[in-house]
Amino acid sequence: MRSYLLGTLEESSAALIEERYFADREFFLLVQALETALIEDYLADRLAAPTKRRFEDRYLSVPDLRRRLEEVRVLHTRHAQAGLPRRIGFLLVAATVLLCIGGATLWLFRGRMRTDLLPPSTTNTALLASLSLSPGISKGSPAPGAELALPSGRGAVRLVLELPGQRSQALCSAQVSSFSSDGSPTRVWSMPKPEWSTPFSGGQHLIVTFDSSVLRRGDYLVELLDTNGQVRESYTFRVSPM
């Protein structure tokens, strides 16, 4: 995993990691935790000389990675100013690394089996349908193909909200509204708290999941909001029974 973060992992193995990284939020968080541990080791000067050179070649030259380095540096400084003992800090980093290694090992033993992991509220609920949405569609006019064929029964619905051109992570929340007969939207679901977007081809995306019981046949509006509650992007889709 560290070789992947440092850009030295062979291409085929890196592709397997990225496939899971882009589709599985829990695995994304695992990689992010291991990256934080790697940066903490760099800041504490615990990296071997060759690893340190490779880290600096990568994290000091790529803007997004440099930004990530600075984020961890700020947190590191705050902990130091708060009087957090260095030994406790080291133990926390060690615990994080062990957790990451354990999770990565479990994933490797599972091979290429794919499991749909949902937020806690829907972890034990089957995934009924999934739909990727591009922004910029007029309200009430779903794009051709932006149709969610919803099977009968109760389960989870996953929407992949694309943010094309967004190079860095964005902290966003989403809300889903149904269109009434007069064209006005009525909110049927919203995220309990904002989440970070994840890398996607040509930009970022935010994956949201919710219970299918909030959806009925008809047209829907999805709004992606920033932390100030302002709409960043909007999407529309149509629900039809299978």
Domain harbouring 156, CATH code: 2.60.40
pLDDT bracket for residue 182 (50, 70, 90):
confident
Q: Which domain holds residue 170?
A: 120-241
The answer to whether the beta carbons of residues 242 and 152 sit under 8 Å apart is: yes
Q: Is 6 within the bounds of a domain?
A: yes
Q: How confident is the model at residue 138 (pLDDT cuts 50, 70, 90)?
A: very low
Tokens 């609920």 identify what position? 125
Q: What is the pLDDT of residues 83-107, one digit of tens each?
A: 545 555 555 665 565 555 555 544 4
Which pLDDT band, with edges at 50, 70 and 90, does 119 fall under? very low
DSSP string, 56-98: HHHHTTSHHHHHHHHHHHHHHHHHHHTT--HHHHHHHHHHHHH
- The residue among 25, 56, 26, 28 whose CA lies nearest residue 41 is 56
In tens, the pLDDT along 43-75 reads: 989 999 999 999 999 899 888 888 888 888 887
Nearest in space to 196 (alpha carbons), one of 72, 25, 33: 25
Query: Taking the complete model, does pTM exceed 0.85, yes or no?
Result: no
Strand, helix or coil at 156? strand
What's the pLDDT band for 174 if we cut at 50, 70, 90?
A: very high
Q: Is the pLDDT of residue 28 over 90?
A: no
Residues 206 and 137 occupy one common structural domain: yes
- C-alpha 140/C-alpha 219 separation (Å) is 7
Question: Domain check: are 237 and 132 in the same one?
Answer: yes
CB 207 within 8 Å of CB 25: yes
The answer as to whether 223 is a domain residue is yes
pLDDT tens digits, one per residue of 183-226: 788 899 999 888 888 887 778 889 999 998 899 888 899 999 98
Number of domains in the chain: 2
pLDDT band at 242; cut points 50, 70, 90 = low
